[in-house]
Amino acid sequence: MTEHAAASTDFVATPPPATDRQTAARDAILAGRASLGIELGSTRIKACLIGDTPSDVLAVGSHEWENAFVDRVWTYSLEEVWSGIQSAHAALLADVEKQYGVRLTGYGAIGVSAMMHGYLAFDAAGELLVPFRTWRNTTTGPAAAELTELFGVNIPLRWSVAHLHQAVLDSEPHVPQLDFVTTLAGYVHWRLTGRKVLGVGDASGMFPIDAATKDYDAELLARYDALVAESAPRLDLARLLPEVLVAGAPAGALTPAGAALLDPSGAVQPGAVLCPPEGDAGTGMVATCSVAPRTGNVSAGTSIFAMVVLEHPLASVHHELDLVTTPAGDPVAMVHCNNGASELAAWAGMFGRFATAAGTALDSDTVFDTLFREALVGDADAGGLLAYNHLAGEPIAGLTEGRPLFVRTPDSRLTLANFMRAQLYGVFGTLSLGMRVLADEGVELDAMFAHGGLFRTAGVAQRFLAGALNAPVSVAETASEGGAWGIAVLAAYTAAVSAGSDLDLDGYLRERVFGDAEFDTTPADPLDVAGFTAYLDRYAAGLAIERTAVDTLS
C-alpha cells in the first residue's frame, strides 16, 4: 500500500444500499488500491477505474475531442490534451461519488495509453518545437522509403523515426534543437512522473525493436546515425528516444506536479506507481487477452488495425505490415489502416438528423443499432455497392490523401440494408487487403478477438468481420471499454509484480483477468465469406477511382 493510501473518510454522503460488489469496490477505493487507466483516443479521452478484481470496471469518465488539420498537418494542441484528461478524470471522480458515495483521493497504480506513433519533439527546456504530428499524417514517404531500404525492415509513414528523418531530409530548422522525441502516451507519462520512458509496444512504433534485447535495435541505430552524420551530425538518435520498459516494470510515480495536472482540484494525492505507457495497439491486445503466439485482435475506432502475435519471423518485408511487439516485447505483425469508422459515423449522424427533422429524434445509440441491424438483411455482397472510408491517406491502398466515396453501378441494388452493409464492409476493406498478405505468409491463428465501440451492437460488425477474415471472431463483455480498461489492467499488473507476483503477462491475463470471462464467438458464415470476397474484389479494383479523386479533387 502506498503512503497516500489511507484516504480521508470525512466525506459525508448517503450512498445507495450496498451490494457485495459495491462494498468491495468502496473498500478498494478508500484504501487506495484501485487502478486508473487513461487512454487518449482519436475522438475520445477515456478514464477507467478497476479494483481488486481487474475484470470489474468500477467507474468511467470520458471527454470528446477531435483532431485539427492545420497547415496540412493533422494535430492536437497540448492544451487540449490536458483539458481533455482533466475533464475525463473529473467525470470519473463524479461517477465514483455517484455510485459509491465516497471521494477518491489516491490510486494504487496508474497507466497512460494513447494513439501510437506520430512525432512530439522537444528542446532541452522541455518546449514543444513543432505542433504534434499524429499517426494520421502521410507526408513522410521519402523518409519511410529510405529507412526501409537502409534497415531491411518496413518503416511505415506514421512511425516516429519516419517523421524525424523527414524533418532531417527537409532541413527543418528545429532539428538542431532536438533533445527528446516521444509519442503522445510517452509525453503524458513524462509530465505525470518526470520520467522519459515508454512501453516496448509503443516504442516499437518509434523505432525497430531487437526481439532478443527487447530494446531498440542497436545495429539499426548505428546505421541511422551514420546515414545522417553529415546532415545532422549532433543528432544521436539513441539519446533522443525514450527508455524502453516491458510490461510489469515500475515506470515512476505520480509526482505532486503530475497530480496537479491530472486533478487541478487537489483531491488526488501523489505517490501512485505508474506502469510503462503504452500505445492503443498494446492496450487492445491486453483488453482482448491476445498477447500469446497464434492469437490476434482487431481494434476498430477512428483507425482500424489488426495485431497478430507471431510464432516465427516473416519471410519477406511487406509494406502492408508493421513489425511491432506486445507490451511484453514479443513480435507482432500489425496491419494498420488510417481510416476506420469515422465515415460510417458521419453517415449515421446524417440519418440521425433526418429522424430529428422528421419529428422522431433518436439518440446516437439507437441510430447506430437501427442501421446496423438493417445491414443484416442486406445482400451478402452488399448489392454491388462500394463504400470507401478514406478521410485520410491510406498507405496500404496506395493513397496519399483521403477522399471518402460511395460508388455504385446502374444495375446495383440500392437499399438501406445494402448501403449499410457496404459501409460496414468498407470499414474492413483495407484491413482485409493487409490480412491477405499475412495469410500468404502462412500465418495461422487459433483465436481472433475484436474490441472497440463498433462492436457494441451485438452480432453485426462482429459477424461481418468474421466473414471478412473467414475466421471466428470473439468479443468479450469489456470490448466497448477498450484500451482505457486495457491500460488499467497493465497498471494493476505492475502493482502485482511489485508486490511479488511471478506471473508473466499472458499468465496474469488468463488467470487473474479473463479466468471467468465470457466471450461471444461468432463463426464465419460461408455466405458472408463469399459475399465479402466478391465485395473485396470490387473494392480493390475500384481503388483506381479513389486515386483519381485524390488527383482531381483538391
220: buried, middle or exposed (CB in 10 Å: 19+, 13-18, 0-12)? Answer: buried
Mean pLDDT comparison of 5-9, 282-286, 294-298, 410-414, highest-scoring range: 410-414
d(CA 344, CA 391): 11
What pairing do the DSSP bridges indicate for beta strands 278-279 and 109-114?
Answer: parallel
pLDDT-wise least confident of 56-60, 395-399, 423-427: 395-399
Contacts of 183 (CB under 8 A, 6+ apart): 114, 115, 116, 117, 118, 120, 160, 198, 202, 205, 206, 277, 279
- pTM for this predicted structure: 0.83
**Is the per-residue pLDDT at 1 higher than 50?**
no
SS (H, E, C) 114-135: ECCCCEEEECCCCCECCCCECC
In sequence order, what DSSP letters do the residues of 214-245 get, joined into one string? TEE-HHHHHHHHHHTTTTSTT--HHHHSPEEE
pLDDT in tens, 373-419: 999 999 999 999 999 999 988 988 989 899 999 999 999 999 999 99
**Is the per-residue pLDDT at 220 higher than 50?**
yes
Contacts of 117 (CB under 8 A, 6+ apart): 134, 135, 156, 158, 159, 160, 183, 205, 206, 279
pLDDT in tens, 153-178: 999 999 999 999 999 999 999 999 99
Q: Where in the chain is the domain with CATH 3.30.420.40?
A: 117-182+207-240, 289-478+524-554
Q: Return the SS3 of 306.
A: strand
d(CA 400, CA 223): 28
**Is the per-residue pLDDT at 477 higher than 70?**
no
d(CA 195, CA 177): 20
Q: How many residues does the chain have?
A: 554
Q: Return the SS3 of 89.
A: helix
- Mean pLDDT throughout 67-75? 91
d(CA 477, CA 455): 10
d(CA 395, CA 257): 40
d(CA 303, CA 336): 8
Query: How many Cα atoms sit within 13 Å of 204 on the Cβ side?
Result: 30
Bridge partners (DSSP) of residue 335 are: 306
Confidence of residue 445 (pLDDT cuts 50, 70, 90): confident
pLDDT at residue 481, as a whole number = 61
**Strands annotated E in 310-441:** 322-325, 331-337, 386-388, 405-407
Q: Return the SS3 of 308.
A: strand
- Mean pLDDT throughout 42-67? 94
289-478+524-554 maps to which CATH number?
Answer: 3.30.420.40
pLDDT-wise least confident of 21-25, 49-53, 270-274, 365-369: 21-25
**Is the per-residue pLDDT at 320 higher than 90?**
no
In sequence order, what DSSP letters do the residues of 506-549 get, joined into one string? HHHIIIIISTT--EEEEPPPHHHHHHHHHHHHHHHHHHHHHHHH
d(CA 24, CA 35): 14
pLDDT in tens, 289-303: 999 998 999 988 888
d(CA 465, CA 375): 13
pLDDT at residue 301, as a whole number = 82
Mean pLDDT over each residue of the chain, to the nearest integer: 92
d(CA 462, CA 447): 14
Confidence of residue 17 (pLDDT cuts 50, 70, 90): low
Report the topology of domain 117-182+207-240: Nucleotidyltransferase; domain 5 (3.30.420)
What cell was used for 340?
476506420
Confidence of residue 8 (pLDDT cuts 50, 70, 90): very low
**Is the per-residue pLDDT at 269 higher than 90?**
yes
The sign one gets for the Cα dihedral 468, 471, 475, 481 is negative
